Amino acid sequence: MHEKTPLIRLSKREDMPKRRIWLIRLGAFVVALLLGMIVFWIAGANPLEAYESIVVAALGKKTGIRQVVRNAVPLLGTALALAPCFKMRYWNIGAEGQITMGAVAAAFFAINCKTMPSLPLLLLMGLGSIVFGALWSLIPAFFKSRWGTNETLFTLMMNYIAIGIAAWLIGGPWEGKKGSQIIPVFRDEAVLPKVFGVHIGWIIVLVITVLMFIYMRYTKHGYEIAVLGESENTARYAGMSVGKIIMRTAALSGGICGLVGFMIASGAHGTLYANVAGGAGFTAITVCWLAQLNPFAMIVISLLLAVLTRGSSTLQTSMGIPASITDIITGIILLCMLGCEFFINYKMHFRKSSGKEAA
């Protein structure tokens, strides 16, 4: 009797050429679009038309493009903020709360500085949002470096507290008209100026992109983060003070998140909502990973997601397809993109009838 060898065997592969890696990733994206067509078809729409209308809605008109950029700014900004944390293997999933606290700080100055001129007021709001975001992020980092608490759960829970605080402020102390449960729109001096029709935040995040790239790649801090992410023992061995690096990096991350909160509140909304972050803090995690922590790749990914978001609202109005369909499409894209890494890292061998197989 002769037992069978397994049908599929896996072996780890190494050193695939860069070009092939990118071809596989591109292929995965195409596969995702094809799978997406099936979803549209099931939903009763013409898949090609659906894709077309997404692209047209997002990129066909100026208003569309502006909306896309406006959507992309918080995603990119937050993804940039998360990059050093993830590089350090510090799982900060508290961006949502850090954004919210940044926005709360911005709103505080917008509401209370009733006579200040625009420039100092905006600077004050920006600075305040950075400090608040950083402090909010420092709390779990402090506990982590001091007592080794789990940052994943801690940062996640901090989100709900932040959102709760914002909701309470909006409905309580800062409420505009009694019973309205909202705060009034910021006065014009507290609203970010526009450049090419979109608030200036897009320039700020592009500057941060370049700075973050340099920070991660060429600075001592960046080196510390990279070493710590690989091995805490090695970092200690090299004389790095682990707790300090964790707290500093978390504060930096939270500060940028806070700034994003300021840009959303002051630039996009012109007021403070309790769900000011609107899920950007979570979506940015995906942006960050899909970009493999590369700041420039994050620009592309965040734009892509913003296009899909923008397109989804049009689909609903023009073709009667529920907006949640695009969430499914987004999910499929993410699954395919992350899944294709498997084929980059592993090689499959299929059972051959002859018993011999090519190398």
Give CB contacts under 8 A, 24+ apart, made by 210-218.
210/295, 212/80, 212/83, 212/84, 212/295, 213/294, 213/295, 213/296, 215/84, 216/83, 216/84, 216/87, 216/293, 216/295
Residue 40 backbone dihedrals phi, psi, to 5 degrees? -60, -40
What would the DSSP string read from start to end of 144-193? HHHH---HHHHHHHHHHHHHHHHHHHHHTTT-SSTT--SPPPPPGGGSPP
CB of 231 vs another protein, minimal distance in Å: 6
Interface residues for another protein in 155-184 (CB under 8 A)?
A: none
If binding is defined by CB under 8 A, does position 359 make contact with another protein?
yes
Site string for another protein, 20-59 (x = CB under 8 A): ----------------------------------------
Q: Toward another protein, which CB reaches closer, 9 or 61?
A: 9
The answer to whether 262 touches 105, Cβ cutoff 8 Å, is yes
Is beta strand 198-199 parallel, antiparallel or unpaired with respect to 346-350?
Answer: unpaired
Chosen residue from 231, 292, 318, 324 binding another protein by CB under 8 A: 231
CB of 290 vs another protein, minimal distance in Å: 19
Interface residues for another protein in 326-355 (CB under 8 A)?
A: 347, 349, 355
If binding is defined by CB under 8 A, does position 223 make contact with another protein?
yes
Site string for another protein, 8-27 (x = CB under 8 A): -x-xxxxx------------
How many residues at the interface with another protein, by CB under 8 A? Answer: 35
**Residue 324: count of CB within 10 angstroms of its CB:** 11
Burial class (CB in 10 A: 0-12, 13-18, 19+), 221: middle
If binding is defined by CB under 8 A, does position 233 make contact with another protein?
yes
Q: Toward another protein, which CB reaches closer, 96 or 224?
A: 224
Nearest to 132 by CA among 170, 112, 106: 106
Chosen residue from 3, 147, 177, 353 binding another protein by CB under 8 A: 3
Chosen residue from 5, 63, 317, 324 binding another protein by CB under 8 A: 5
If binding is defined by CB under 8 A, does position 236 make contact with another protein?
yes
Q: Which stretch binds another protein (CB under 8 A): 155-163, 167-175, 212-220, 255-263?
A: 212-220
Chosen residue from 114, 147, 220, 353 binding another protein by CB under 8 A: 220
Supply 35's token pair: 């799978």
Q: Toward another protein, which CB reaches closer, 12 or 18?
A: 12
Burial class (CB in 10 A: 0-12, 13-18, 19+), 72: buried
Q: Residue 180: which residues within 8 A CB-CB, separation 6 or more?
A: none
If binding is defined by CB under 8 A, does position 114 make contact with another protein?
no
Chosen residue from 123, 238, 335, 338 binding another protein by CB under 8 A: 238
**Three-class DSSP category at 253:** helix
How far is the CA of 72 from the CAs of 60, 236, 270, in angstroms?
Answer: 17, 38, 17
Q: Which stretch binds another protein (CB under 8 A): 136-144, 237-245, 300-308, 335-343?
A: 237-245
Q: How many CA within 13 A on the CB side of residue 22?
A: 5
Q: Which stretch binds another protein (CB under 8 A): 126-134, 176-184, 213-221, 252-260?
A: 213-221
If binding is defined by CB under 8 A, does position 234 make contact with another protein?
yes
Q: Angle 95-112/280-290 helices, nearest 10 degrees?
A: 130
Binding site for another protein (CB under 8 A): 2-6, 9, 11-15, 218-224, 226-227, 230-231, 233-234, 236-239, 241, 347, 349, 355-357, 359
